Amino acid sequence: MRYSIKKLIQTSLGVALYSLITHTASGADPLKLDVNLTPIAKIQPTMYGIFFEDINFAADGGLYAELVKNRSFEFEQPLMGWSQPATDPYSTNDDSGIANTLNFAENTTNKNVLRVNVFNDKNYSLVNEGFRGMGILKGETYRLSFYAANPEGTIKRVVAQLVDAKGKVIASTAIPTTHKDWHKYSQTLVATATEEKASLKITFEGKGTLDMDMISLFPKNTWKGRENGLRKDLVQLLADLKPGFLRFPGGCIIEGRTLAQRYQWKNTLGQLDNRPTMISRWNTEFKHKLTPDYFQSFGLGFYEYFQLAEDLGAEPIPVLNCGIACQFNSGELVPVSELDPYIQDAIDLIEFANGTTQSPWGKVRADMGHPEPFNMKYIGIGNEQWGPQYIERFKVFQKVLKEKHPEIILISGSGPFADGQMFDYAHRELKKLNAEIIDEHYYRDIAWFKNNATRYDNYDRNGPKIFAGEYAAQSVAVVSPENKNSWETALAEAAFITGLERNADVVQLTSYAPLMAHTDAWQWSPNMIWFNNLQVLATANYQVQQLFSTHKGSELVSITHAGKPLTGQNGLYASAATDQPENALLIKLVNTDADARHIQFTVPAPVKKSIATITYLGAKHLLSENSFASPDQIKPEIHRQGFKNNTLTYTAPPHSVSVISIPLNH
């Protein structure tokens, strides 16, 4: 073996790995694996993708870069997120001031306006706490904007300051309020210090009344510099996955606890101040993590989701409500006879995404800045609905949409569970309907993932294709707040993924879920990405997803031992593919055993060079996790290994994931 020993021993696992490799190499005869380069199936570009759901403050307070919480005063408690330190609500506040919200019934989307009465401008202030604080970086520029009406003309200026957790000012600007009628004001601030828990403090020069609305603060340095932009470091982690698709906006978020609270995509378009704020269905869903301040501003709406998918080079996969509220909550049903508005939403969405600029909804897209179509190919009908209620509604959607838009692939669902009576019922009925793709979800324990690498080996090759839409190994139990993103969970998922890839003729889309979570405002664990107001963290599970996604290959080929695929024998799991653009063979090898495994591959084709590139993932302990303090405990390590006569021997370390890339000569 010709490992790059000097480079290897410099890594965190190097000494241990070197010991394992040299010890095992001199031990028992290697396990011989046979590779057959005859293509079995095409691996779809959508094989590995992203499922985004607005849970765990993933949108407002997360991916959406707005720093002000409740910017338009539309929460159920209109001043939630805002405080007036020198104001007593039970006083006339002659020595400070007081702000209250005015509710205008004729405004259908943005009902509330803040009326500020300043009696002593030396003492009065208005403070926004942000989303568990505001993450501010030294030297960065921030865009402040607000609408104001100054009918009396007595409030001369609005002073905006960013203050740190101790009250020290770290950025400041003053904006003259010269317009009596409503006017949008904007200004920039440059931070002099870094602060994770900053807040926005607003004071006034002059005494009198000022009406305000849509008080907003964005970093200038968003993804692609967009004003209504996304948090750059989070999007970069998504881009690094090289995803084949982006599914949005959920998940249970589309269902709503009631139908009145369902996600309605048309409400997320157009000017920001015309997008109605709505309570999140995760607001108080879990008693262990109550978040009564969890609302949706829809600043990150369907236009922005389509735009993000385009940025990532990913297929957009929007999911729509099918006329059923979340069945874990109210389970409200729209009568089948009244489904027309829901189906029309799907028809209009196709026009919004793909229609010409002369069409009504295509014009809406063009007016928002994107005259070219988004070329949407898929729509999800419902999320985790189950039972006859779902099937009878899906039938109606399918009939209409296939008549009007046969080019759109419809994704149906099998419910929230990976097996059981309702799962079997859904598959049976959807197969009768010639459903194209069925979305399956699995939140199961670690053992389940290792034991289900053969799950799709016997699926009907003539039936619907599979979207493994939501999966994550649970270290404790589903919905437990104690679940961890440990290496043990990531390793089990890697074993399972080899089974998904070995069945690429059936499984055409896969995505981990949930995608991301704010460390101070989460409801569900585990999650693939964690973030606070300043940092992002790629978990062990992220590292596995990225490793497979960036090495998916083009065509599935066979890798066997004694004529059988590796599905857990001796703790080993494997899949293989050829990468046509790179002209290489890619072997994914997962060793879930506590012992190293000495393996020999023979490549049945000429190789370009007798050197393999090995990308390795492992950890010191199964319970190891990446953390903000130690973000690189589990990360890819790359080394090269020489071999002769098309035969390569490799020692897979204990509890490891390896991708072996061998250049081919044909």
pLDDT tens for 342-351 read 999 999 999 9
Q: Under 8 Å CB-to-CB from 417, ≥6 apart: which residues?
A: 423, 441
Q: How sure is the predictor about 605, in pLDDT bands with cuts at 50, 70 and 90?
A: confident
Q: pLDDT tens for residues 525-555? A: 999 999 999 999 999 999 999 999 999 999 9
Q: What is the rounded distance in angstroms from the CA atom of residue 119 to the CA atom of residue 99?
A: 11
Q: Under 8 Å CB-to-CB from 599, ≥6 apart: which residues?
A: 30, 31, 32, 33, 572, 589, 649, 650, 651, 652
The pLDDT assigned to 7 comes to 39
Q: What is the rounded distance in angstroms from the CA atom of residue 373 to the CA atom of residue 369?
A: 11
Least confident of 20-24, 210-214, 351-355, 503-507: 20-24
User: Counting runs of H as helices and runs of E as strands, what totals does the chain give?
Assistant: 11, 34
- DSSP code of residue 43: P
- DSSP per-residue string spanning 559-591: EEETTEE-BSGGGEEEEEEEETTTTEEEEEEEE
| Residue 625 designated active-site | no
Q: Does the pLDDT value for residue 16 go beyond 80? A: no
267 near 275, Cβ under 8 Å? yes
Structure tokens at 374: 């988004």
Calculate the CA 346 to chain-centre distance: 23
The pLDDT assigned to 11 comes to 43
The pLDDT assigned to 18 comes to 36
Residues linked to residue 602 through DSSP beta bridges, in sequence order: 34, 647
Q: pLDDT tens for residues 273-299? A: 999 999 999 999 998 889 999 999 999
Taking residues 373-377, report their average pLDDT: 98
268 near 298, Cβ under 8 Å? yes
Give the 3-state secondary structure of residue 135: strand
The alpha carbon dihedral of 332, 338, 339, 340 has a sign of negative
Which among 249, 251, 289, 327 is positioned nearest to 524, based on CA atoms? 289
The pLDDT assigned to 604 comes to 82
The pLDDT assigned to 107 comes to 81
Q: What is the rounded distance in angstroms from the CA atom of residue 658 to the CA atom of residue 654?
A: 11
Q: How sure is the predictor about 666, in pLDDT bands with cuts at 50, 70 and 90?
A: low
Q: How sure is the predictor about 363, in pLDDT bands with cuts at 50, 70 and 90?
A: very high
- The more confident residue out of 54 and 18 is 54
Q: What is the rounded distance in angstroms from the CA atom of residue 174 to the CA atom of residue 310?
A: 38
527 near 539, Cβ under 8 Å? yes
Give the 3-state secondary structure of residue 130: strand
Through-space distance between the first and last CA atoms of the chain, rounded to whole angstroms: 25
Whole-model pTM: value is 0.95
At which residue do the structure tokens 């690189």 appear? 632
Question: b vs e for 484-521, b when ≥16 Cβ sit within 10 Å of the residue's Cβ?
Answer: bbbbbbbbbbbbbbbbbbbbbbbbbbbbbbbbbbbbeb
Taking residues 404-433, report their average pLDDT: 97
Question: What are the backbone angles phi and psi of residue 308, rounded to the nearest 5°?
Answer: -65, -45
The pLDDT assigned to 189 comes to 97
Residue among 53, 332, 384, 637 flagged as catalytic:
384
Whether the bond into 45 is cis, omega within 30 of 0: no
214 near 195, Cβ under 8 Å? no
Three state DSSP letters for 167-205: CCEEEEEEEECCCCCCEEEEEEEECCCCEEEEEEEEEEE
Q: pLDDT tens for residues 550-591? A: 999 999 999 999 999 999 999 999 999 999 999 999 999 999
For residue 544, give the amino acid letter: V
Residues linked to residue 344 through DSSP beta bridges, in sequence order: none
The pLDDT assigned to 23 comes to 36
Three state DSSP letters for 315-356: EEEEEECCCECCCCCCCCECCHHHCHHHHHHHHHHHHHHHCC
The pLDDT assigned to 29 comes to 85
Q: pLDDT tens for residues 422-475? A: 999 999 999 999 999 999 999 999 999 999 999 999 999 999 999 999 999 999
Least confident of 94-98, 604-608, 634-638: 604-608
Which among 643, 641, 520 is positioned nearest to 130, based on CA atoms? 520
Residues linked to residue 219 through DSSP beta bridges, in sequence order: 142
Number of other residues whose CB lies within 10 A of the CB of residue 66: 23
286 near 280, Cβ under 8 Å? no
68 near 216, Cβ under 8 Å? yes
- Strands 183-190, 245-248: pairing is unpaired
Q: What is the rounded distance in angstroms from the CA atom of residue 102 to the CA atom of residue 275?
A: 18
Q: pLDDT tens for residues 161-214? A: 999 999 999 999 999 999 999 999 999 999 999 999 999 999 999 999 999 999
Percentage above 70 pLDDT, the chain: 96
Residues linked to residue 162 through DSSP beta bridges, in sequence order: 171, 200
The pLDDT assigned to 467 comes to 98
Q: Does the pLDDT value for residue 159 go beyond 60? A: yes
Taking residues 28-33, report their average pLDDT: 89
Q: How many CA atoms lie within 13 A of 470 on its CB side?
A: 26
Mean pLDDT of the chain: 94
The pLDDT assigned to 12 comes to 38
At which residue do the structure tokens 């006034």 appear? 204
Structure tokens at 262: 């369902």
Torsion angle of the four alpha carbons 486, 492, 493, 495, in this order, in degrees rounded to the nearest 10? 150
Q: pLDDT tens for residues 102-149? A: 998 788 888 999 999 999 999 999 999 999 999 999 999 999 999 999
Q: What is the rounded distance in angstroms from the CA atom of residue 502 to the CA atom of residue 656?
A: 19
In terms of Cβ atoms closer than 10 Å to its own Cβ (0-12, 13-18, 19+), residue 594 is exposed
Q: pLDDT tens for residues 46-79? A: 999 999 999 999 999 999 999 999 999 999 999 9
Taking residues 11-30, report their average pLDDT: 45
Q: What is the rounded distance in angstroms from the CA atom of residue 488 to the CA atom of residue 618?
A: 10
Q: How sure is the predictor about 608, in pLDDT bands with cuts at 50, 70 and 90?
A: confident
Which among 175, 184, 64, 197 is positioned nearest to 128, based on CA atoms? 197
Calculate the CA 530 to chain-centre distance: 11
Which among 508, 652, 658, 643 is positioned nearest to 576, based on CA atoms? 658
- DSSP per-residue string spanning 448-503: HHHHTTTTTTTS-TTS-EEEEEEEEEESS-TT-TT----HHHHHHHHHHHHHHHHT
Q: pLDDT tens for residues 298-312? A: 999 999 999 999 999
Question: What are the backbone angles phi and psi of residue 203, rounded to the nearest 5°?
Answer: -125, 175
Q: What is the rounded distance in angstroms from the CA atom of residue 5 to the CA atom of residue 638?
A: 12
